[in-house]
Amino acid sequence: MEVSLAGRTALITGGSKGLGFAMAELFTASGADVAIVARGKEGLDQAVKAIETANAKGGGSNMRGRVVAIAGDVAKPEDCKRIYDEAMKAFGKIDILVNNAGESRAVPFENLTDEVFETDINQKIFACIRLTRQVWPQMKERRWGRVINVLNTAAKAPRAASAPTSVTRAAGMAMTKVLAGEGAPHNVLVNALLVGLIESDQHVRGAKRAGVAVDDYLGQRAKAIPLGRAGRSMEFANIACFLASDAGSYITGTAINVDGGGAVWVNEFNA
């Protein structure tokens, strides 16, 4: 089955590296025009160059989409509005929104300050609310839209000392269900993808803190995964691309684990 995003436009937050980058690369290779969002301009510029290079090598470049970079902090309401405006200026419409931005914050409850909780809420929940609010009316008007919220397996089964991330991820799953019910009559489909142990920048940082090689770091954690290995970012991008396409036209309100069947405790909180 060929999955095509030809003629579609996408906005992907946290798009300069890791899962966001993999989705942007696959979406453009599948025909979509994509705006990637991150805070660092240098990382964005490198990501755009890498995606354009990959597309040029892939052949059939006339069927591949464009990619543009938008620097901004989705934790700030004014940046959310500007990000939307710049994406609209570039493409004229947004068909697909991927709320992917967010970093792990996990501390024992007694050490959890209001400031840390508020930061996490702004970066994850309010960013999702504000950006989805921007794209929602046009999706309803055209009767076609896709919203994908990237969460974590702890959204379903949080463990001790995993707040605030597990709490905001669980809220993101509830938001997904609410939006799916409201969007369905207008053919606006909303789903969540829950990340397990997947190769990403956070594990590079985790390996560095532990003073071990990344492969050893992931290998140790992969022992609890039934598939026996960490996932690859492109494997995550594959299901996101499917959900964003017409091929996923009867799927909404789901929260799909992308974790190799793995144990919940092997997640971002161990990074």
- Written as six digits, the tokens of 183 are 């969007």
What confidence category does residue 251 fall into, taking pLDDT thresholds of 50, 70 and 90?
very high
Mean pLDDT of the chain: 92
> Which whole number is the average pLDDT over 82-89?
98
Given this model, what pLDDT does residue 206 score?
75
> How does pLDDT run across 179-188, given as a tens digit for each residue?
999 999 999 9
Give the whole-angstrom CA distance, residue 125 versus residue 238.
Answer: 24
> How does pLDDT run across 121-178, given as a tens digit for each residue?
999 999 999 999 999 999 999 999 999 999 999 999 899 999 999 999 999 999 999 9
Across-strand partners of 37?
13, 70
Given this model, what pLDDT does residue 59 score?
59
Give the whole-angstrom CA distance, residue 185 versus residue 33.
Answer: 26
pLDDT reading at 89 higher than 70: yes
* Backbone torsion region of residue 229, taken as left when φ is above 0, otherwise alpha when ψ lies between -120 and 50, otherwise beta: beta
Q: Of the given ranges (1-15, 72-86, 207-221, 241-255), which has the lowest mean pLDDT?
A: 207-221
- Written as six digits, the tokens of 193 are 């993808």
pLDDT reading at 269 higher than 90: no
Given this model, what pLDDT does residue 40 score?
94
Give the whole-angstrom CA distance, residue 21 versus residue 40.
Answer: 14
Burial of 3 (0-12, 13-18, 19+ CB in 10 A): middle
pLDDT-above-70 percentage for the chain: 95
Given this model, what pLDDT does residue 205 score?
73
**pTM metric for this prediction:** 0.93
> Which whole number is the average pLDDT over 67-95?
98
- Written as six digits, the tokens of 178 are 């609410």
